[in-house]
Amino acid sequence: MLTQVSEVVPVPAWPFSLLVLSCGGCWSVTAKMLRNLLALRQIGQRTISTTSHRHFKNKVPEKQKLFQEDDGIPLYLKGGIADVLLYRATMVLGVGGTAYALYQLAVAAFPKKQE
């Protein structure tokens, strides 16, 4: 198991406040608040990195066998119903978008006559 070793790095305390500019105006943020924010970030990283990881079964060999067999089905449809729907939606949007673009070009090419 991979573990990440991290240490808490002290942040120097400034005796003055920092000004942070934002869309709404200026906010005064003290150095203590920034130190707390940095410490919270380090604690969050340490907690997440040391949690136990779930072990999932490696599905790559199964997928390789499925996609490499020669059964006459196109490769972009071998993934199941999700791939079929994605392919059809892509084709409909692609053909429809092309037709709409050609229509708009035709409309722009023949402007209405002004009387």
Q: Which residues contact 95 (CB under 8 A, 6 or more apart)?
A: none
Q: Where are the alpha helices (DSSP H) in the chain?
A: 31-49, 60-68, 81-109
Domain covering 60-109 in this structure, CATH number? 4.10.91.10
Encoding tokens for residue 8? Answer: 């808490």
pLDDT by residue for the chain (115 residues), tens only, comes to 555 555 665 655 555 444 444 444 445 567 788 888 788 777 766 655 555 667 889 999 998 998 999 998 888 888 889 999 999 999 999 999 999 999 999 999 998 888 7
Parallel, antiparallel or unpaired: strands 25-29 and 18-22? antiparallel
Encoding tokens for residue 77? Answer: 């449809």
Burial of 51 (0-12, 13-18, 19+ CB in 10 A): exposed
Taking the model in full, what pTM does it have? 0.44
Query: Domain spans of the chain?
Result: 1-55, 60-109
